[in-house]
Chains A and B, each alone.
Chain A
Amino acid sequence: MLSTLNKYRAAFSVGLQSNLVYRVNFAIRGFFSFFHLIVVFILWGSAYAGSPVIGGFSFAQTFTYFVALIVVQFMIGAFNEDYQISEEIRNGLINQFLLKPVNYFAYRFSIYLSARLVTGLLILLPLVVLFPLLKDHLTIPLDGWRLAVGLPALVMSAFIQFGIAYCFGLMSFWFLEIQGLVILSMAIESVLGGQIFPLDLLPDWLFRVSQYLPYYYQMYFPVAIFTGRLNDPAAALAGLGIQAGWVFIILATGQILWRRGLRLHTAVGG
Chain B
Amino acid sequence: MNFAHYARIWLTSARYSIVRTLMFRGDFFVWALVELFWMTVNLLMISVIYRHTDSVAGWTKYEMMLLVGTSLLIQRFLMGFFWSSIFEMGRNIRSGNFDFFLAQPGNVMFMATTRKLDPDGLINSFVAMGVVAYSARQLGLHPGAADLALYALLVACGVIIHYSMLVLCIAPAFWITSAQGIEGSYFTLSEFSRLPRQAFKGLANVAFVWVLPVVVVSNAPASILLHGFDLRITGWLLGITALWFGLAVVVFHRGLRRYTSASS
Q: Which A residues lie at the B interface, using CB under 8 A?
A: 25, 28-29, 32, 35-36, 38-39, 42-51, 54-55, 177, 180-181, 183-184, 187-188, 190-191, 196-197, 201-203
Report the nearest B residue to A199, measured CB to CB: B48
Docked pose: A202 CA to B45 CA in angstroms: 10
Stretch in B121-129, B134-142, B177-185, B242-250 touching the partner: B177-185
Query: B262 near A: Cβ within 8 Å?
Result: no
| Residues in A whose Cβ lies below 8 Å from that of B182 | 28
Docked pose: A188 CA to B40 CA in angstroms: 10
Segment 195-212 of B: residues with Cβ below 8 Å from A: 195-196, 198-200, 204
Q: Which B residues lie at the A interface, using CB under 8 A?
A: 27, 30-31, 33-34, 37-38, 40-41, 44-45, 48-49, 51-57, 180-182, 184-185, 188-189, 191-192, 195-196, 198-200, 204
- Enumerate the 7 nearest inter-chain pairs by beta-carbon distance, A residue then B residue, closest first: A180-B30, A187-B37, A46-B57, A46-B199, A54-B52, A50-B53, A46-B56
Contact present for A42 and B195 (CB under 8 Å) = yes
Report the nearest B residue to A188, measured CB to CB: B37
**Distance between B80 CB and nearest chain A CB, rounded to angstroms:** 17
Docked pose: A190 CA to B192 CA in angstroms: 18
Contact present for A25 and B181 (CB under 8 Å) = yes
**Distance between A195 CB and nearest chain B CB, rounded to angstroms:** 9
Docked pose: A201 CA to B53 CA in angstroms: 11
User: What's the dominant secondary structure at chain A's contact region?
Assistant: helix
Docked pose: A29 CA to B38 CA in angstroms: 20
**Distance between A216 CB and nearest chain B CB, rounded to angstroms:** 16
Contact present for B53 and A47 (CB under 8 Å) = yes
Contact present for B56 and A180 (CB under 8 Å) = no
In-complex Cβ contact of B195 among A39, A55, A177, A201 (8 A) = A39
Known: A190-B41, A191-B41. A32 touches B185 (CB 8 A): yes
**Distance between B169 CB and nearest chain A CB, rounded to angstroms:** 12
Contact present for A203 and B51 (CB under 8 Å) = yes
Contact present for A187 and B41 (CB under 8 Å) = yes
Contact present for B34 and A201 (CB under 8 Å) = no
Docked pose: A253 CA to B176 CA in angstroms: 43
Q: What are 14 A-B pairs at a CB distance below 8 A?
A: A39-B191, A39-B192, A42-B200, A50-B53, A50-B55, A51-B53, A54-B52, A180-B27, A180-B33, A187-B37, A191-B44, A196-B45, A201-B48, A203-B51
In-complex Cβ contact of A47 among B38, B56, B181, B191 (8 A) = B56
**Distance between B254 CB and nearest chain A CB, rounded to angstroms:** 23
Contact present for B31 and A180 (CB under 8 Å) = yes
Docked pose: A81 CA to B73 CA in angstroms: 32
In-complex Cβ contact of B41 among A35, A196, A202 (8 A) = A196
Contact present for B52 and A55 (CB under 8 Å) = yes
| Residues in B whose Cβ lies below 8 Å from that of A54 | 52-53
Report the nearest A residue to B203, measured CB to CB: A38
**Distance between B14 CB and nearest chain A CB, rounded to angstroms:** 22
In-complex Cβ contact of A36 among B34, B52, B188, B200 (8 A) = B188
Contact present for A187 and B38 (CB under 8 Å) = yes
Contact present for A50 and B180 (CB under 8 Å) = no
**Distance between A132 CB and nearest chain B CB, rounded to angstroms:** 15
| Residues in A whose Cβ lies below 8 Å from that of B191 | 35-36, 39
